[in-house]
């Protein structure tokens, strides 16, 4: 099979044969794990564990698609350019969505702000808290409401997503829902769009229809037209929200083919949707070549933005899981069509595979947690200081996000501002100007 030419990530990925069998690799992983645990070593001083040409290629794509240009001009109180000002460009948040699926029965830990791993999170998913809770149309109780509010207050997310609304799988819907008339069915669902769990915060998106690789109960019982009616009415009720189609494990090679065909079928039937949500878990060794091919052949060509949710990356050991996790994060972050990632959980109790945990006993980071923090808060993070030229200018290429810009003039005066720097084709110009001397 020839490699598609249009995605730069492909060009550097080559099969590797280190002359080691599985037993030798596992023994080596155990030795590395022991060294890290005993000596307290980071996986890499540069915030990464993996090396090689495909890593370099993925990083080049990340630099191209996740960064934007900014020009900062420093002026004095008389509108004159300032030569020699120290300009600090400090990133506060990523534009790329890094989310967490909230637990249903546990309050957040104390003092999350600024803590490793937690400081990377800028969004939350209510997926576990908003599910139908039995055979009938029972709304979540007061305890989940309190849990959601506590977590939202602790994290301070930029956006909240609702999660799944209705499933193509009859077994994942209340019995009463399927017995309703079309009108009652629609009304019951739309009641859930007004204010998710009473959090008082605007919900950014809903997975309107999930598990939809194969034709499901809604199409069979109510017809494809019902999906459009549901979308149109939901959009009228919540015009600021996005309504997505959701697929389970759509990054698996076989499932990705089914997903692509399903999306094409929905398009041919003129079913409306704003994005694709892929609920994804990796529990075995992640092959970079295979995943890159799936992303290139399927995700790259989808007609709408893609969000990865419920992400869980395990392995044969905690170190193997960390290598898998970095492989997945690099390739996902290098795919321009992917706009966000929501983790299934931070600790083993929220995950199917304990090796995928980012936080271990006593709140310590696991190897995967260290990789996650190193990538999103060191390698893929902008914090730099430059000196203004004789025109008062500095130019920088930064990761898209929210920033604090601080200029310290040669005479000691300081001015600062916060600014949002989204991905843009043209450089953003920002002026920092001090007031008069008092």
Provide DSSP, 273-310.
-SEEEEEEEE-S---HHHHHHHHHHTGGG-SS-EEEEE
Q: pTM score, two decimals?
A: 0.84
Pairing type for strands 414-421 and 401-408 reads antiparallel
Lowest mean pLDDT: which of 170-179, 327-336, 364-373?
170-179
Q: Which two tokens stand for residue 295?
A: 């992303």
User: What local confidence, expressed as pLDDT, does residue 237 receive?
Assistant: 76
Q: What is the 3-state secondary structure (H, E, C) of 37-73?
A: HHHCCCCCCCCCCCCCHHHHHHHHHHHHHCEEEEEEE
Domains of the chain with CATH codes:
8-62 (no CATH), 69-90+382-433 (2.60.40.1120), 95-371 (3.20.20.80)
The rounded distance, in Å, linking the Cα atoms of 356 and 301 is 29
Pairing type for strands 275-282 and 242-248 reads parallel
Average pLDDT for 194-223: 68
The rounded distance, in Å, linking the Cα atoms of 126 and 102 is 6
Each residue of 30-49: pLDDT tens digit?
433 433 333 343 444 344 56
Of 270 and 372, the structure prediction assigns the larger pLDDT to 372
- Residues in Cβ contact with 355 at an 8 Å cutoff, skipping those fewer than 6 apart: 314, 315, 316, 317, 318, 320, 321, 368
Strand partners, 88: 385, 406
Pick from 431, 416, 429, 432: nearest CA to 90: 416
How many CB atoms within 10 Å of residue 107?
Answer: 11
Contact between 195 and 152 (Cβ < 8 Å): no
The rounded distance, in Å, linking the Cα atoms of 9 and 292 is 7
Each residue of 268-305: pLDDT tens digit?
888 889 999 999 999 888 988 899 999 998 899 999 99
> What is the maximal distance between C-alpha atoms in the chain?
75
Contact between 409 and 434 (Cβ < 8 Å): yes
User: What local confidence, expressed as pLDDT, does residue 255 receive?
Assistant: 85
Of 361 and 173, the structure prediction assigns the larger pLDDT to 361
Length of the chain: 438
How many CB atoms within 10 Å of residue 199?
Answer: 18
| Stretch (H or E) spanning 87 | strand 86-94
The rounded distance, in Å, linking the Cα atoms of 118 and 114 is 7
Pick from 341, 329, 336, 305: nearest CA to 423: 336
């Amino acid at each position: 099979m020839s490699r598609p030419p249009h995605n730069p990530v492909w060009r550097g990925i080559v099969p590797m044969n280190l002359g080691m069998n599985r037993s030798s690799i596992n023994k080596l992983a155990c030795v590395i794990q022991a060294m890290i645990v005993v000596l307290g070593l980071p996986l890499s001083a540069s915030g990464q564990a993996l090396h090689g040409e495909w890593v370099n290629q993925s990083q080049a794509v990340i630099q191209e698609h996740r960064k934007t240009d900014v020009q900062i001009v420093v002026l004095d109180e008389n509108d004159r350019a300032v030569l020699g000002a120290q300009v600090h460009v400090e990133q506060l948040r990523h534009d790329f969505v890094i989310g967490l699926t909230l637990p249903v029965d546990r309050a957040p830990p104390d003092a999350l702000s600024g803590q490793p791993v937690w400081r990377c999170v800028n969004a939350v998913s209510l997926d576990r808290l908003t599910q139908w809770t039995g055979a009938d149309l029972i709304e979540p109780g007061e305890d989940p409401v309190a849990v959601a509010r506590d977590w939202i207050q602790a994290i301070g997310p930029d956006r909240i997503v609702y999660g799944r609304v209705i499933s193509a799988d009859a077994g994942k819907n209340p019995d009463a829902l399927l017995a309703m008339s079309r009108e009652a069915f629609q009304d019951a669902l739309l009641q859930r769009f007004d204010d998710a769990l009473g959090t008082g915060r605007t919900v950014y998106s809903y997975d309107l229809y999930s598990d939809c690789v194969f034709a499901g109960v809604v199409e069979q019982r109510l017809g494809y037209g019902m999906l459009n009616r549901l979308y149109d009415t939901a959009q009228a009720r919540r015009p600021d929200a996005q309504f997505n189609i959701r697929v389970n494990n759509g990054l698996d090679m076989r499932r990705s083919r089914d997903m692509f065909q399903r999306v094409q079928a929905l398009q041919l039937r003129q079913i409306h949707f704003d994005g694709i949500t892929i609920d994804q878990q990796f529990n075995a060794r992640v092959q970079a070549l295979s995943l890159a091919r799936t992303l290139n052949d399927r995700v790259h060509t989808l007609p709408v933005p893609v969000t990865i949710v419920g992400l869980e990356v395990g392995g044969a050991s905690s170190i193997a899981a960390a290598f898998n996790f970095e492989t997945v994060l690099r390739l996902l972050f290098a795919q321009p069509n992917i706009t966000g990632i929501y983790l299934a959980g931070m600790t083993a109790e929220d995950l199917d595979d304990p090796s995928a945990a980012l936080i271990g006993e006593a709140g310590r980071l696991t190897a995967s947690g260290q990789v996650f923090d190193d990538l999103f808060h060191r390698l893929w993070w902008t914090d730099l200081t430059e000196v203004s030229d004789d025109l008062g200018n500095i130019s920088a290429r930064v990761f898209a996000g929210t920033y604090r810009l601080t200029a310290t003039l040669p005479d000691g005066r300081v001015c600062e501002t916060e600014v949002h720097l989204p991905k843009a084709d043209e450089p953003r110009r920002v002026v920092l100007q001090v007031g008069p001397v008092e």
